Structure 1
Amino acid sequence: MDTFKQSAIEILKKVGEPLHYNKITKLALESGILETEGANPEKTMAAVIYVDIKTKKEGSDFIKTAPETFALNPNKKEIEQTPKIIEAEKEEEEKIVIEAGFIGKGGEHLVCSELIFRGFNASIMSVDVGVDISAIKDNKFFGIQVKTARKNNSEIYNFHIRHKSFERFNQGNIFYILVLRDGIKNSFLILPASEIEKRIKQGSIFTVNNKTGYALSIKFRNGKFYLGNKNHEMGYFLNNWDLIK
């Protein structure tokens, strides 16, 4: 997984022209080189780039070419990493980690409470080893992996699954629950691990980062959710808790 700064550099190198920070974020998320559970990745991307320019000036990797639009700095100068620069970067990184932690844990608690309301004896795992929630109902055990994302400006929810984690936990009663947050309500896509595996083979879930992970883009169009494009409508899995049985 790349950081916001590394992702911005990679996207701008690939595109070869200035981009609005919203576009940089969109391309980074959709290509899978950026993974985040933050509530507003676009604002985080903008903040990271602005901080880099403000603290490093001519030594920044970026230049501002228009309002909220950036390119790689063709005249970047080597500068000393002063304590002020190091502290500013560290502070920005801590904000990202803290925000993602709150979003991720919030999603886990949402799912856990929904399971309990439906008669499952569910609890959040103390240590994350690939399964976030363990649940039991009618003497059956279920392992739940929770992913949480907020709808971005393009009405897309971006999720990532680590390859190693999926390979370890893709059999038996394992489910992936995608928490879709739009700022008003929460929706849930309930996906058995077997469904994830099928979609990977179909190509609607694709490998990223040198095959170390999988990227899922859930698009909201005309009141419906789609995986990748309109050929993969996901209504059957939307809030369908009865699949966990």
Structure 2
Amino acid sequence: MELIEQIAEVLREAKKEMHVDAIAEAIVEKYPHTRAPLYELSKKVSSLLAKDIAKKKTKSDFVKPKNSKGAPRRGMYRIKIKRVTPEIVPPPPIVNVLYTGKAGEFAVMSELLFFGFNTSFMTVDDGIDIVATKDNKYFHIQVKTANISESNNQYKFTINQRSYDSKDASSTFYIFVLRSASGPSFVNNYIILPNSDISRLIESGIITQGNKLSIRIEKDTTGKYLLNSKEDVKYALNRFDKIR
């Protein structure tokens, strides 16, 4: 890191004006590998800041504070506080759920390919969306996709009970696509649950049986991914390697 960058870092962390001697002391403390004697470093800091302001003028990141009479204060400098323009988060597009569902399936297929699975869509959707194969093993994948709800920070999914019952097998996996805004773009995260986990959650009462299995996933302030407000399924976050 160049000396000018070290100076900027020190002033930025201090959040106040500093004398060149204090800047030099802070640099030595922050960067112990600095070998120059303190008095020499102080002179270098003073010279470097003066040259930067003289050369760049108003475009310099540094400023010499002035006293009550309007004259520059000797040896004193501060760094300009740059205004950060807030990122504009685009609203989620309003599209038919069929488009959202199919987009989620393509996203999952892409991730599976990255993990070395050969994949294929089912011609008829009877509860299985994708068949994936790897190391001579076949897996049945059901994909559910949801955009985050701005009102309660949740993702909501349903699984048809009859479809679940007919595909109750160890080779079946449920992948929940969690789509949300991150800065100016959208990102997908995936909760991958084997059929055995869904069965366990039903038996424990966390998922209630009916015509449809209702599943809500919420990321709380501690980073947990709570399924139906009861079980943290973060262990399944983006774990495509668990499909085996």
Structure 2, unmatched stretches of 5+, are 1-91
8 Å CA contact retained: 1:109, 1:124: no
Partner of 1:218: 217
Q: How do residues 194-233 of structure 1 correspond to structure 2 at under 5 angstroms? A: 194-207=196-209, 211-222=210-221, 223-229=223-229, 231-233=230-232
Q: Give the TM-score normalised by the residue count of structure 2.
A: 0.58
Query: Is 1:151 equivalent to 2:153 in the alignment?
Result: no
Secondary structure, aligned partner of 2:175:
strand
Partner of 2:160: 162
Greater CA radius of gyration, 1 or 2? Answer: 2
Partner of 1:243: 242
What letter is aligned with 2:170? G
Once superposed, which parts of structure 1, at least 4 consecutive aligned residues long, lie more than 6 Å away?
A: none
Query: Is 1:135 equivalent to 2:158 in the alignment?
Result: no
Q: How many residues align?
A: 147
| Cα separation, 2, equivalents of 1:235 and 1:129 | 28
| Cα separation, 1, equivalents of 2:153 and 2:205 | 21
Tell me how far 1:224 sits from its aligned partner: 2.3
RMSD: 1.5
8 Å CA contact retained: 2:115, 2:241: no
Secondary structure, aligned partner of 1:214:
strand
What letter is aligned with 1:123? S
Query: Equivalent pairs: percent with the same residue?
Result: 40
Higher relative contact order (CA 8 A, sep 6+): 1
Q: Give the TM-score normalised by the residue count of structure 1.
A: 0.58
Q: How do residues 51-66 of structure 1 correspond to structure 2 at under 5 angstroms? A: none
What letter is aligned with 2:131? S
Partner of 1:191: 193
Structure 1, unmatched stretches of 5+, are 1-38, 44-97
8 Å CA contact retained: 1:134, 1:141: yes
